[in-house]
């Protein structure tokens, strides 16, 4: 995924070219900055060594064998609680600035610092894609569960990105499922190259092969009900959608000339596609 400074500079460049994207790009940069300490730690917030090739290859083969994403195979106890808590405060601070419920978020962090809520348990739920605990934290503290899920997810993102970066093509070419093989999220974006469509996970940076004719939401594979929409002035961007469930995927066609889209920014840069999808009565996953 590249060095932090390079990523931040790429974002600055796009902000100059696309000032209308300033807000989401600014939030993206603030999160990257808040994650700096974890990103610069050798284990990316864990006690593990991600240069250890057998570690990665075992995780990868276990994921293929069990058909489960790698994140779900990690034990949350490998994460450094102190580093998690420090970063959690920084990420939450971004949302205070943006007007989120400051007192309520502070209360949640206080509970995590005191150990009454174990931050590793929250991390474990994110790793397994289990939304249930966030529903109860949300209710207890009066905070949107999706915001708590987002904040805790940001703590493991550097580690999950590192894993995605180190996995090899066997996982990317053999996975054949909609959900991301590394973090388990269902992607919103894809890149098309040489008539192959690769799903792109904007959380961890994974790219993995998927059938051209597959709805990533409902699994529909009938080509007669899988359609697409394009933007007149931007032929490199299109919306692939499913007539059965009305969900869509935003596709960057790398065979058509266009400015290269930096990794992890696919969802922000294709924001115009969300508008045309919405106008067409489609639903975001
Ligand atoms: Zn992912
Ligand atoms: Zn569908």
Ligand 1 centre to CA of 219 (Å) is: 19
Nearest Cα residue to 259 out of 2, 8, 6, 16: 16
Q: How far is the CA of 225 from the centre of ligand 2 (A)?
A: 9
Residues by chain with Cβ below 5 Å of ion ligand 1: 180, 182-183, 201, 203-204, 206
CA–centroid distance, residue 100 to ligand 1 (Å): 26
169-279 in CATH: which number?
3.90.1670.10
The whole model's pTM is what? 0.94
Distance 187 CA to ligand 1 centre (A): 8
Measured in Å, residue 122 CA sits from the centre of ligand 1 at 18
CB proximity list for 107: less than 8 A, separation 6 or greater = 141
Instruction: Spell out a b/e string for 63-93, using b for 16 or more CB atoms within 10 Å of the CB, else e.
Output: beeeebbbbbebebeebbbebbeebbbbbbb
| pLDDT tens-place values along the chain, 285 residues long | 778 999 999 999 999 999 999 999 999 999 999 999 999 999 999 999 999 999 999 999 999 999 999 999 999 999 999 999 999 999 999 998 888 788 999 999 999 999 999 999 999 999 999 999 999 999 999 999 999 999 999 999 999 999 999 999 888 888 889 999 999 999 999 999 998 999 999 999 999 999 989 999 999 999 999 999 998 888 899 999 999 999 999 999 999 877 889 999 999 999 999 999 999 999 998
Domain map of the chain by residue range? 35-165, 169-279
* Distance in Å, CA 160 to ligand 1 centroid: 8
- How does DSSP assign 46-65, residue by residue? BSS-TT-HHHHHHHHHHHHH
């Amino acid at each position: 995924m590249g060095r932090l400074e390079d990523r931040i500079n790429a974002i600055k460049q796009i902000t100059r070219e696309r000032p209308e994207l300033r807000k989401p790009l600014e939030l993206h940069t603030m999160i990257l900055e808040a994650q700096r300490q974890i990103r610069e730690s050798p284990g990316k917030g864990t006690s593990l060594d991600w240069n250890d090739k057998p570690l990665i290859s075992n995780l990868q083969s276990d994921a293929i064998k069990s058909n489960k994403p790698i994140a779900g195979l990690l034990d949350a106890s490998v994460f450094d609680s102190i580093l998690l808590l420090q970063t959690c405060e920084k990420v939450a601070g971004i949302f205070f600035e943006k007007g989120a419920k400051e007192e309520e978020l502070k209360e949640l962090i206080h509970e995590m610092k005191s150990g009454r809520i174990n931050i590793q348990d929250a991390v474990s739920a994110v790793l397994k894609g289990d939304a249930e605990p966030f529903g109860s934290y949300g209710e207890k503290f009066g905070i949107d569960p999706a915001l708590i899920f987002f904040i805790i997810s940001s703590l493991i993102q550097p580690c999950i990105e590192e894993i995605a970066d180190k996995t090899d093509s066997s996982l990317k070419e053999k996975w054949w499922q909609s959900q991301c093989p590394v973090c388990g999220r269902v992607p919103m974006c894809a890149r098309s190259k040489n008539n192959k469509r690769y799903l792109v996970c904007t959380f961890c940076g994974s790219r993995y092969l998927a059938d051209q004719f597959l709805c990533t939401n409902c699994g529909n594979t009938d080509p007669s009900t899988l359609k697409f929409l394009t933007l007149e002035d931007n032929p490199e961007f299109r919306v692939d959608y499913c007539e059965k469930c009305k969900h869509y995927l935003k596709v960057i066609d790398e065979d058509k000339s266009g400015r290269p889209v930096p990794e992890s920014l696919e969802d922000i840069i294709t924001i115009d596609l969300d508008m045309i999808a919405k106008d067409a009565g489609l639903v975001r996953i």
